[in-house]
Chain A
C-alpha cells in the first residue's frame, strides 16, 4: 500500500510501494509542493521507472522556480535504482541518519 503525506518536520513522507499504478497518486500530491522539498523515503520499499518519472517531473518543475527535490533515507535497494538511473547525479541524496 502506497502512502504519501506531509511528515512532522515538513518533509513529504513516502511509504509502501511506488509502482506504475500508484504513480498518479504521487504525481497528484507532488504537483502541489513548492520550493525546496525533502522526500523522506525511509518507508518506501519499492520504486519503478514510473515513480522515478514522477520524481524527475517534480524536480524539473521545482528547479525552474529555483526550488529542488531532496531524497532522504533511501534504502540500499533504492540507492541502487537511483544510481542505475543516473538520479544520483541529478538529485541531492541525503544519507539516512
Chain B
C-alpha cells in the first residue's frame, strides 16, 4: 500500500479552492505523479456541444473532439478505462499528434472522470508509464484518483459558474442603477398640463429611458430605447440624454441638438448599437410640441375633440445609426384641451403582441383621467393581456396631457350673460375674474349682435394655462367675424364726439394678455381666444 500516500496527498491538495486553470493543472500533475507517467492531460466534457475540450495554454485555442471520437472520445462515451499497452499496435490510436510533436507515445491509460452523482466531468489521460506499461494495479489506482479528480473538478466548475453568475448579477444591478439615475426624480409641474412618466425594467434590463424636464426652451419630452440588454445600452442612453441636455442648455435649437447628438452617437456607438428616441419640446403657452423621432414609433396623440388618436411617423432613422448631413425640420403637434400625447416603448407594444390598436382603445377609454391613472390603466391592461407571460423588455410610458377645458354652450341671447358669469365664477380665480368676465361679456355680446337669428349656440371653453386661464368662444356654422379687427377707439375725443360703439373690444384688449381670432372655413367655425394671467398688470395707456 505504498501508493496510498501520494493519493492522500493529492486528495488534500485537490480540496483547496483553486480556479479552474489551476485545478486542471493540479489534476494533470497528480495523475502523472501517482501513475508514474511521463505526460498527462485532462479533457473537460461540454454537455451542450457533446465535446471534449483540452486547454493547452491560456493564449491558445483549446483542442476540441466529439465524444465517441478517438480514444478520449471512446472513453467518454463508454465511461470505462481504456488501457492501451502498445499504441502503435492498436488501430484506435491516432499517431498524427506524435508526428506533429515528435513525442513517441508507447502506452496510454485513459480514464473517465465521473463525479459522485454519476455525471461525466471529463477524461484524464496518462502516457508512457516509466519503465513499462500500465497494468491492472494502475487501472485500480487510476480509478480512485479519477473519482477524486472528478469531484474536485466538478466543484471548481460550479464555483466558476457561481462567480460568473455573480459577476453578471452585479453588472445587471449596475446597469439598473445607471438606468434609474437618468430618470426624473419628480414630475415637473407645468401649468395647464399633466405630465407623467414611468419605467418598468424587465428582469434582464434593457436600454429604455425617458425624460420630462422643464428647461429654458420649454418642457423637454424624451423617450429612448437603446438596442440590447445589460449595462452597455443603459450607458448609451445615459450618454444620449447627457449630450441632449447639454446641447439644449447651451441654447441649441431642437433640430441642431438632435443633429449633434445623432452624429456624435454615430461616432461613438459600436456598429451594431443604435437608439430609437423621441425628442420633443413643448411650449406650454403656445400648446405646441415640436419633435424629432429617430425610429421611435408609433407616436400617438389622442385628440379629445375628435375622440380618436392621430398617429405620427418617426422623422428619421434611429439615433447613432449613421451621421445626418443636415438637420431635419421638427414636426409640430398642436395640443388642444384634453389631448394626450402617448409615448410608449416597444416593450409595451410587443409584450405578447399587445399592439397599437389596444393602446388606442385604452387612450379613448381613459383619456379623461389623470396622466398617472392613464399610465396605470395601460400597464394594468398589458399585464392582464400577458396573463403571466414573462416581461422580455423594459416598459416605459410617457404621457403629456393638456388639461381639458371646462366647456359650456350658451344661447345667443343677452339673458345668457348671467349663466356665463356663473360659469366663469366656477372656473376662474377671483383675482382674474373681473378681466375675464369683462372680456367674456364684450366678446359674447359682439357675437349676439353680429350673428343671425337661429344660429347655433356659442360654446365657451375655459382652460388653465401657466398662471392663468385661456378662454375661447367658439361659434359653429358661422360666417367669419373677427372682433379683433374692430377699429381702435380714440378715447381722448371730447364728449360730443364720443360714441359707445367699439369700446367693448377696446376694453378687452386693455384687460387681457392676448387675444386672437381663428376661422376654419371647412367647419365654418370661428374661435376667439384670449388669455389672462396673474401678476400681469392690465395694459396701461
Contacts and interface: CB of A to CB of B under 8 A. Distances in A.
Interface of A: 17, 19-21, 46, 48-50, 52-53, 56-57, 59-60, 63, 77, 80-81, 83-86, 89-90
Contacts of B496: 60
Contacts of A80: 511, 538
Nearest to A45: B434
Nearest to B538: A80
Given A86-B492, A89-B492, A48 B498 contact: no
Contacts of A21: 414-415, 417-418
Nearest to B499: A56
A89 B438 CA distance: 21
Contacts of B461: none
Central interface residue in B434, B437, B490, by most chain A CB within 10 Å: B434
Given A48-B441, A52-B503, A19 B417 contact: yes
Assign chain B's interface to a size class.
Answer: 20 to 34
Contacts of A63: 495
Interface of B: 414-415, 417-418, 421, 434, 437-438, 441-442, 445, 489-496, 498, 500, 503-504, 506-507, 510-511, 538, 541
A84 B507 contact: yes
B416 to A, nearest CB: 8
Nearest to A60: B495
Given A53-B500, A84-B538, A19 B441 contact: yes
Which 4 residue pairs spanning A and B have beta carbons closest together?
A86-B491, A53-B500, A49-B504, A84-B510
A7 B122 CA distance: 115
Nearest to B495: A90
Contacts of A49: 442, 500, 503-504, 506-507
A84 B434 CA distance: 14
Contacts of B503: 49, 52-53, 85
A20 B500 contact: no
Given A21-B414, A84-B491, A89-B492, A46 B434 contact: yes
A62 B78 CA distance: 127
A19 B317 CA distance: 59
Nearest to A1: B418
B500 A52 contact: yes
A83 B507 contact: no
Given A19-B441, A49-B507, A84-B506, 19 more contacts: A20-B417, A21-B418, A48-B445, A48-B504, A49-B442, A49-B506, A52-B503, A56-B495, A56-B500, A57-B500, A60-B495, A60-B496, A84-B491, A85-B491, A85-B506, A86-B490, A86-B492, A90-B495, A90-B498
21 contacts: A19-B417, A19-B421, A20-B441, A21-B418, A46-B434, A46-B437, A48-B507, A49-B503, A50-B445, A50-B504, A52-B500, A52-B503, A56-B495, A56-B498, A63-B495, A77-B434, A84-B538, A85-B489, A86-B489, A86-B498, A89-B491
B423 to A, nearest CB: 14
A85 B538 CA distance: 13
Provide the main secondary structure of the chain A interface: helix
Nearest to B501: A53
Contacts of B491: 84-86, 89
Contacts of B437: 46
A20 B466 CA distance: 31
Nearest to B539: A84
B230 to A, nearest CB: 64
A84 B441 CA distance: 16
Contact of B438 (A57, A59, A60, A81): A81
Contacts of A46: 434, 437-438
Most chain B CB within 10 A, of A48, A59, A83, is at A48
Nearest to A20: B445
A48 B438 contact: yes
A63 B353 CA distance: 82
Q: Most chain-A Cβ atoms within 10 A of its Cβ — which of B415, B445, B492?
A: B445
A63 B498 CA distance: 13
A17 B421 contact: yes
A23 B345 CA distance: 59
Contacts of B493: 86
Contacts of A17: 421
Nearest to A75: B434
A5 to B, nearest CB: 21
Contacts of A20: 414, 417, 441, 445
Given A21-B414, A46-B437, A48-B442, A59 B500 contact: no
A60 B496 CA distance: 7
A86 B502 CA distance: 13
A21 B414 CA distance: 5
A31 B438 CA distance: 25
A49 B442 CA distance: 7
B500 to A, nearest CB: 3
Contacts of B492: 86, 89
B473 to A, nearest CB: 15
Contacts of B506: 49, 84-85
A81 B507 CA distance: 7
Nearest to A76: B434
Which among A19, A52, A63, A85 has the greatest number of chain B C-beta atoms within 10 A? A19
